[in-house]
Structure 1
Amino acid sequence: MEGIDYHETFSPTAKIISVRCLLSLAAAQNWSIHQLDVHNAFLHGDLDEEIFMSPPPGLRRQGENLADYSLFTHKQGKSFTALLIYVDDILITGNDPITISALKNFLNSRFRIKDLGDLKYFLGIEVSHSKNGIYISQRKYALEIISDAGLLGVAPVDTPMERGLKLSNKGDLLKDASSYRRLVGRLIYLTITRPDNTYSVHVLSRFMHEPRKPHMEAALRVVRYLKNTPGQGLFFSSQSDFRLRAYCDSDWAGCPMTRRSTTGYCVFFGSSLISWKSKRQKTVSLSSAEAEYRSITGACCELTWLRSLLRYLNILHSKPALLYCDNRAALQIAANPVFHERTRHIEMDCHYIRDKIQDGSVATKHVSSSFQLADVFTKALEKEVFIPLIRKLGARDIHSPT
């Protein structure tokens, strides 16, 4: 809304998942990451007519199934270079320093480019490098949220949401809804490096149109949780087997207003968490097995896209991506080629997943509920369960004493 949050919007180009994937690959390959900034990325003044431009010389169409249109790669022999663009910021990495230097000089000869050196700060993300890997966080941004909320002096809490809390459309309406929308919007951007906040922020975002007092109290609890670990972020290890594995889960009929289930999944590249989601399903599931099966579908779609993205990054997967689920009934539906009365309403999902299993791109595995990492994205957990799970996701705080 212009005049309220207009100046805090941003222009999305490269997918944030692509950024995390590129960083995890660079950490695993021990590649240096360079950052460039383009001067005058936007034209000054308004355009009152349509402008038609010809593609620049040398631009070749790479097919209709590009994983990310802001990712450009170059391979010649053993030399590999990747370039990722986010509005006027550019990341370059690869295994050939000479090619990277030549690319910098070429770009600078065509545009006004500022070489910012090794990547340290990008889109509000702080990046730290070591021989063990790459660490990313949004500590400065988190501290700004805490300060602007006026909670610098309050006691922190250990979890972002009270265990078992179910927010609904009950309670007094807020007099100033914009303050709630602004806070939740900032918390959404913070989830770039904070998977531990994803579920709570997802639930809070359901009430942006008509926020109430209990919703604001829950949002402020998330801020109190940030105060406990403002510098927490993600660690991308230098040790990697370059294999994709995912965990998926669902909270059957968890929404008290619509009785729709919540899908949650997380995807690892080697030991590095690169993608995750918490989302309310579009339809009501008639059983827990159906809800779990729909969560398998979402995770399978993400794995398929990530395989395509990694292929452009010169990582070819000969082995299937592993998909872990704790519901045996859902796994049996995926393995059973026979449709019957109880599965006819999820037939399209069945076809999609079975195709991926049969072509060898995805393999489903059972995991016990106690080792289900996706629980963090489907429900509010108690401290004793929540903290060990986020540690297994790769969450770290290098600013806190060990």
Structure 2
Amino acid sequence: MTPHEDGELLTDAIEYRSMGTTNHGLWLQANHDISLILAYCDADWASCSDSSRSTTSYAIFLGPNLVSWRSKKQPTVSKSSIEAEYRAITYTVQDTIFIRSLLAEMEVWLSTPVQLHCDNVSASYLVVNPIQHDRSKHIKIDYHFVRERVAHGDLVDKICSHTIAVS
């Protein structure tokens, strides 16, 4: 596949993803290196003064281009900052799976796992460590599908400083 064809496929994917947002715009850098998905996520624990629910935010890049982002109040109250961050990781990974699937449908294959950047060390350790600790027992098992993504090699978790977290 030529770089021109790769660009056309990526353009089609972006058009598909941005349907219904005709009043908005995306600025994309001309870059033929779309082999890496970088994802940054964060949670603001119990930030809503009325409901005590946390806010999740994330930004996902394909190469140098921002292709997905979100900031949303979490549906339930988190009992700890680790749980809030782990939920943010979960929502981010769900979106990266969708992006990888969309690219695969267009026969654009990524050779490297998604790099997930999270500024919460405890939540990052929970992603890669299958052992339940007393402090994390309250986190629901349904969020542990992120561990499966790490085990399959689809995801690499990276701890980053909150000062460089784009989300």
Q: TM-score, normalised by structure 1?
A: 0.37
SS in 2 for 1:316: coil
Gaps of 5+ in 1: 1-25, 35-70, 72-81, 87-121, 126-137, 139-192, 194-232, 375-402
Equivalent residue number for residue 363 of structure 1 = 156
> Where do 4+ consecutive residues of structure 1 move more than 2 Å?
26-34, 122-125
- 1:272, distance to aligned residue in structure 2 (A): 0.8
Contact 2:53-2:76 at 8 Å conserved across structures:
yes
* 1:246 and 2:9 aligned: no
* 1:325 and 2:118 aligned: yes
Q: TM-score, normalised by structure 2?
A: 0.85
CA deviations 1:78-122 (Å, max 9, x no partner) are xxxx8x779xxxxxxxxxxxxxxxxxxxxxxxxxxxxxxxxxxx8
CA distance in 2, matches of 1:33, 1:363: 23
Equivalent residue number for residue 139 of structure 2 = 346
Over 3 Å counting, the alpha-carbon distance change for 1:309 and 1:280 in structure 2 is: same
Contact 1:29-1:238 at 8 Å conserved across structures:
no
Residue correspondence of structure 1 range 229-244 to structure 2 within 5 A? 233-242=25-34, 243-244=36-37
* 1:316 and 2:147 aligned: no
CA distance in 2, matches of 1:235, 1:27: 18
CA distance in 1, matches of 2:10, 2:161: 38
Number of aligned residue pairs: give it.
Answer: 162
CA deviations 1:51-92 (Å, max 9, x no partner) are xxxxxxxxxxxxxxxxxxxx9xxxxxxxxxx8x779xxxxxx
* 1:293 and 2:109 aligned: no
Residue correspondence of structure 1 range 264-279 to structure 2 within 5 A? 264-279=57-72
Over 3 Å counting, the alpha-carbon distance change for 1:237 and 1:372 in structure 2 is: same
Contact 1:250-1:262 at 8 Å conserved across structures:
yes
- 1:27, distance to aligned residue in structure 2 (A): 8.2
* 1:259 and 2:38 aligned: no
Residue correspondence of structure 1 range 210-221 to structure 2 within 5 A? none
SS in 2 for 1:370: coil
